[in-house]
């Protein structure tokens, strides 16, 4: 039963990320403008990397391939979204137009659970016999590396956008 639950959890998180990646890829120019507006530099590179990463993360989670790495990518993406946008609006998504951080925090926790428990029996990781340590420690460390990677990338490439573009003070 846990294997089926992990498949459902992985697949749903993967579908969410795949949808985001497709949305970014369909409109790279608009995605680039948005990244510039919220303070990421270079915006063009961020738009393309975001689309590609979200597509890869989504597919990896859906099929359960390199699952802890995909979970770390999800955590990194959610950290960057939290840091650059959602933390300024508070917890709830409905409090401000910028949306609070409950959504990105929930996806980050989902990624942690996936990293700790592993992909389950219904995954390509299991089919091809990838040697992940599913006692949870290695998965949790890989997830943490994703969060730290997102923090480093945000520190290196993000500057708070002006209040004119974000509505924040």
Q: What angle do CA 35, 59, 20 make, to 5 degrees?
A: 30
Q: How many residues does the chain have?
A: 169
Q: Residue 140: CA atoms inside 13 Å, Cβ hemisphere, count?
A: 5
pLDDT of residue 68: 93
In this predicted structure, the answer to whether residue 25 has a pLDDT above a threshold of 70 is yes
Token pair, residue 167, equals 């509505």
Is residue 128 very low, low, confident or very high in pLDDT (cuts 50, 70, 90)? very high
pLDDT of residue 50: 95
pTM of the predicted structure, to 2 decimals: 0.89
What separation in angstroms does the CA of 147 have from each of 32, 90, 122? 23, 20, 26
The DSSP secondary structure of the chain, one letter per residue, reads -HHHHHHHHHHHHHHHHHHHHHHHHHTHHHHHHHHHHHTBSSHHHHHHHHHHHHHHHHHHHHHTSSHHHHHHHHHHHHHHHHHHTGGGG-S-TTSSTT--SHHHHHHHHHHHHHHHH-S-SSSHHHHHT----TTSHHHHHHHHHHHHHHHHHHHHHB-PPPHHHH---
In this predicted structure, the answer to whether residue 94 has a pLDDT above a threshold of 80 is no
Cβ neighbours of residue 1 closer than 8 Å, sequence gap 6 or more? none
Other CB atoms within a 10 A radius of the CB of residue 17 amount to 27
């Amino acid at each position: 039963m846990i294997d089926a639950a992990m498949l459902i959890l992985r697949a749903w998180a993967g579908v969410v990320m795949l949808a985001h990646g497709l949305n970014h890829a369909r409109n790279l120019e608009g995605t680039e403008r948005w990244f510039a507006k919220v303070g990421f530099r270079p915006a063009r590179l961020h738009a393309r990397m975001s689309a590609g990463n979200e597509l890869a993360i989504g597919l990896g989670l859906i099929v359960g391939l390199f699952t802890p790495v995909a979970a770390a990518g999800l955590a990194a993406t959610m950290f960057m979204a939290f840091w650059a946008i959602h933390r300024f609006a508070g917890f709830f998504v409905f409090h401000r137009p910028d949306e609070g951080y409950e959504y990105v925090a929930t996806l980050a926790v989902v990624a942690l659970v996936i990293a700790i428990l592993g992909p389950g029996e219904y995954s390509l990781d299991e089919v091809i016999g990838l040697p992940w340590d599913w006692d949870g420690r290695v998965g949790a460390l890989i997830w943490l590396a994703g969060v730290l990677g997102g923090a480093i990338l945000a520190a290196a490439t993000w500057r708070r956008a002006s209040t004119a573009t974000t509505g924040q003070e």
